[in-house]
Structure 1
């Protein structure tokens, strides 16, 4: 009876050992599977990161080349005389008019040689010649100032400014833009008229700025008056 019990105990021990061995094998296979999956995940992650990095490098390189090409083309376009787009002329009154007449054409001079192309030419200081047909932006500002004792206090007078154009196909000058404002006579009073307009001009068109005789002596010739014309 004792021998039988010992034999059964030994059999149970062997069976338990077999089960433990099988469980250990299962655990080892599971660990190996997890390790392979982790390795694959790391490889996939590394490949994804490398792909994203390569894409970013390509995009940056492409943008840089595109920007450089655009910049070079723009500089070439600005330098060529056949494409005056964006060029402009900047003028200021050259001096005070001594003898005001009706109508009075303002005399101009370039600001720091403000010609950016041969598209403009100032003739006799009063006529701005346009050589190229196209759309132009005209920006004009005429400033006025009443000095002490220059006029009768409290009396109003009229300021008139006109920009005209002339072409050989016209019978006479045509008005492009004009303004008319009242100004009260008061010592050291300051006032200005500003006009802007985009207009299409033919080649060989001449522009002129005129003011009325009564406002001639009040023009502030040295400051804040200018004429800018830009080919757009």
Structure 2
């Protein structure tokens, strides 16, 4: 009886060992598959990261190149200005003689502008220009005749242009106002306009004959032309 029990116990142990070995083999096969799957996932992840990095660098380089091209300046300097102040007007007032100017900034050295004989401004580049003009008037002592009734003066100022395409000069901008003729009276006219000018255009400013002697050349009379 004891031998039979021992034999049965031995058989059960052998069966248990076989089950345990099969289980270990199964676990090893699952572990190998898991490792392979993990390796495949890691390889896929690394490949995705490399592709994203390459794509980002390519896109960044293309954007930078386009941005650099957009920032490259073309043509003459943008918004280059010439600023002039009225100088002392010598000689008798005449509607045929334009105002004389003094250069305040270095815009006369620009390829866009050149002031000739202090009166005629030559514009060499075709484009849009902003013209700002301020003419200040001043009545000095005893410049007006005494009257019982107030005397009014007519102030007229204009900017004209001349070009080979035009048969005659053209008016760019003009202004007209009335001023009381009294000792030490101050008044001004301010004009501004954006206009397209052809290359090799000439500009000048003129006052009407009756008001030119009241031009305040000491201050506040200026002409500024800005290339846009």
**TM-score category by the smaller chain?**
0.5 to 0.7
Matched, 1:203 2:214: no
CA distance in 2, matches of 1:122, 1:179: 23
The correspondence of residues 117-136 of structure 1 with structure 2, limited to 5 A, is 117-136=110-129
Can you give the 5+ residue segments of structure 2 that lack an aligned partner in the other structure?
Answer: 1-59
Partner in structure 2 of residue 161 of structure 1: 157
SS in 1 for 2:210: helix
Matched, 1:148 2:141: yes
Please list the CA deviations of residues 78-126 of structure 1 after superposition, one character each: whole Å capped at 9, or x if unmatched: xx8x323211100011213331112331011210434462210001111
Deviation at 1:136, TM superposition (A): 0.3
The correspondence of residues 50-65 of structure 1 with structure 2, limited to 5 A, is none
Matched, 1:175 2:171: yes
Picking from 88, 107, 118, the partner of 2:81 is 88
SS in 2 for 1:214: coil
Partner in structure 1 of residue 9 of structure 2: none
Deviation at 1:222, TM superposition (A): 1.4
SS in 1 for 2:104: strand
Can you give the 5+ residue segments of structure 1 that lack an aligned partner in the other structure?
Answer: 1-61
CA distance in 1, matches of 2:97, 2:152: 20
Partner in structure 2 of residue 3 of structure 1: none
Deviation at 1:230, TM superposition (A): 0.3
CA distance in 2, matches of 1:214, 1:201: 30
Mapped contact 2:82–2:108 kept (Cα < 8 A): yes
CA distance in 2, matches of 1:127, 1:116: 15
Mapped contact 1:88–1:115 kept (Cα < 8 A): no
CA distance in 2, matches of 1:222, 1:123: 21
SS in 2 for 1:224: coil
Partner in structure 1 of residue 100 of structure 2: 107
CA distance in 2, matches of 1:204, 1:112: 21
Matched, 1:219 2:202: no
Partner in structure 2 of residue 47 of structure 1: none
Are the structure 2 counterparts of residues 108 and 203 from structure 1 closer, same or farther at C-alpha, using a change threshold of 3 Å?
Answer: same
Partner in structure 1 of residue 132 of structure 2: 139
Mapped contact 1:90–1:226 kept (Cα < 8 A): yes
CA distance in 2, matches of 1:116, 1:228: 15
Deviation at 1:157, TM superposition (A): 1.1
